[in-house]
Chains A and B, each alone.
Chain A
Amino acid sequence: MAETETAVDRAALTEFLLRMGDNSLILGHRLSEWCGKSPVLEEDIALANLALDLIGQTQMWLGLAGEVEGKGRSADDFAYLRDASGFRNLLLVERPNGDFGQTLMRQFLFDVWHHEMLSRLVRSSDARVAEIAGKAIKEVAYHLERSADLVVRLGDGTAESHRRMQDALDDCWPYTGEMFIADDHDRAVAAAGIAPDPSDLKDTWEATVTEVLRQATLHKPEHGYAQKGGKRGIHTEHLGFILAEMQFLQRAYPGATW
């Protein structure tokens, strides 16, 4: 452990861990908003399971982030006591749920990236990172199988489901580019062999997404414009509303437990 921490800037590693944890925290929270409102009972339970998987992964990533940072912050402190500018999640995961198609498309585009990322992280030079990835990848493999299957069913479904899925794809697309843009922190952890360079994930992501969209008879947008900023703490207005709901209790009653 000591070698990895000297080999890589502590701040860069903390930053990387916060990005992993915040992606699963914010997406997990978004999914939990469906609880009790999904189109069918079975889907309601499936989405809640997904949300719980992601929140579980959040605890591991943010817990390790606190350990590496070394300032005594816990996973809960990170989740409940940071302002929007402290969050490092991709803009994609804070996109509003929209209709079921939008939720599903957002999930699929993220799952493909998430699975590819974790499959690299299981070989991380940092044993703690590899261990978390090893646990998470089993869950995420199922998430991907499920979301890819539903994207094909609904894309290649009725005229209305096709239209909704295409709209969702067009809406989410500009938010996918951010997943592959590397900054100095990314390059530092990549150089230490802890995580892949984000740009290396693009080809496999593109190949899987292209194939699933082809089966789903959906048209992949051509433009490559990328909305970005989430990884640096510059967020869309949506994150503020998520945090207002998620953090209210701890902010209003600091230290409250039950």
Chain B
Amino acid sequence: MSSVSSSPYPDTPEPKEKTKRSEWPLWEIFIRGQHGLNHRHVGSLHAPDAEMAIRNARDVYTRRNEGVSIWAVKSDHIAASSPSEKGPLFEPSNSKVYRHPSFFDIPDEVGHM
């Protein structure tokens, strides 16, 4: 599984000339909500540049007064872990219960933590 095909249709030969209609780059949109402290990923959209990405995000993702701040990040600037490495990356921690802070007795005086 090491070979990566760039085409979703590997059996179809790539067109000789590049298609004329060039797509705008893809942007990932993060919005900080009314009561949230963090920007959260809400989706993606196409836009020719950062300014337009933010405008488009305003129209596509904040129609119902969802946000107070918008971040736009070009999708190809995001480095992602590969789903096929899920096992090695995450499973070892399953057997290490002591990494969860659940072995302490919290004195009653402390109250809710």
Which A residues contact B (CB, under 8 angstroms)?
40-42, 45-46, 49, 142, 146, 149
A–B complex contacts, Cβ < 8 Å, 21 sampled? A40-B24, A40-B46, A41-B45, A41-B46, A42-B45, A42-B46, A42-B47, A42-B56, A42-B59, A42-B60, A45-B59, A45-B60, A46-B55, A46-B56, A46-B59, A49-B59, A49-B63, A142-B58, A146-B55, A149-B51, A149-B55
Q: Which residue of B lies closest to A40 (CB)?
A: B46
Residues in B with CB closer than 8 Å to A45 are 59-60
Residues in A with CB closer than 8 Å to B51 are 149
Instruction: Give chain A nearest CB distance to B91 CB in angstroms.
Output: 39
Residues in A with CB closer than 8 Å to B63 are 49
Number of interface residues of B (CB under 8 A): 11
Instruction: Give chain A nearest CB distance to B31 CB in angstroms.
Output: 15
CA distance A97 to B63 in the complex (A): 24
Q: Which 5 A-B pairs have the closest CB atoms?
A: A42-B56, A46-B59, A45-B59, A45-B60, A49-B59
Instruction: Give chain A nearest CB distance to B23 CB in angstroms.
Output: 9
Chain B's interface: helix, strand, loop or mixed, by majority? helix
Residues in B with CB closer than 8 Å to A46 are 55-56, 59
Residues in A with CB closer than 8 Å to B45 are 41-42
Instruction: Give chain B nearest CB distance to A28 CB in angstroms.
Output: 16
Residues in A with CB closer than 8 Å to B59 are 42, 45-46, 49
Mark each residue of chain B from 53 to 78: 1 if its CB lies under 8 Å from any CB of chain A, else 0. Answer: 00110111001000000000000000
Residues in B with CB closer than 8 Å to A40 are 24, 46
Instruction: Give chain B nearest CB distance to A232 CB in angstroms.
Output: 36
Instruction: Give chain A nearest CB distance to B1 CB in angstroms.
Output: 33
CA distance A146 to B47 in the complex (A): 14
Q: A41-B45, A42-B46 are in contact. List 18 more A-B contacts (CB 8 A).
A: A40-B46, A41-B46, A42-B45, A42-B47, A42-B56, A42-B59, A42-B60, A45-B59, A45-B60, A46-B55, A46-B56, A46-B59, A49-B59, A49-B63, A142-B58, A146-B55, A149-B51, A149-B55
Residues in B with CB closer than 8 Å to A149 are 51, 55
CA distance A146 to B57 in the complex (A): 13
Q: Which residue of B lies closest to A157 (CB)?
A: B48
CA distance A40 to B48 in the complex (A): 12
Which of B47, B51, B60 is packed against the most chain A CB atoms within 10 Å?
B60
Residues in A with CB closer than 8 Å to B60 are 42, 45
CA distance A40 to B51 in the complex (A): 17
CA distance A45 to B57 in the complex (A): 10
Q: State which residues 1-42 of B face A: CB under 8 Å.
A: 24
CA distance A142 to B60 in the complex (A): 14
CA distance A49 to B58 in the complex (A): 10
Q: Which residue of A lies closest to B59 (CB)?
A: A46
Residues in B with CB closer than 8 Å to A42 are 45-47, 56, 59-60
CA distance A147 to B63 in the complex (A): 18
Residues in B with CB closer than 8 Å to A49 are 59, 63
Q: Which residue of B lies closest to A49 (CB)?
A: B59
